Amino acid sequence: MIATSERVRGSGPDADLLIWHVPVGAVVEDFQAIACSDEEGLAVPSGQRDVPLRLDATGESWCLRCLATVPRSRAEGSIRADRVGHRKPAPEGA
């Protein structure tokens, strides 16, 4: 699913967290609106990326408030899209 990241300072040098938010619309003057807030957004965002709903990396997590705004069908469609690359091709002449 398309997401934009926010770096959140942790309590140690390696404790920074990357929070993935669902972006709303395009970046306007270095400001990215996000789904979890009507007023706040990300200044100078790092850009949008296609991020799997199940994150493997440590120190990264989804913004749960953003995810709550995403219709279930869209989130599930995103999971299915993740698997498309692993599907075997259909046999020829089927």
Total length of the chain? 94
Part in contact with Zn ion (CB under 5 A); list of ranges 27-35, 54-62, 69-77, 85-93: 27-35
Q: Does 67 bind Zn ion (CB under 5 A)?
A: no
Among 17, 24, 36, 67, binds Zn ion (CB under 5 A): 36
Tokens of 44: 């100078």
Tokens of 41: 């957004």
Tokens of 43: 């200044």
Part in contact with Zn ion (CB under 5 A); list of ranges 29-37, 42-50, 51-59, 74-82: 29-37
C-alpha distance across the termini of the chain, in Å: 32
Residues near Zn ion (CB under 5 A): 21, 34, 36, 63, 66
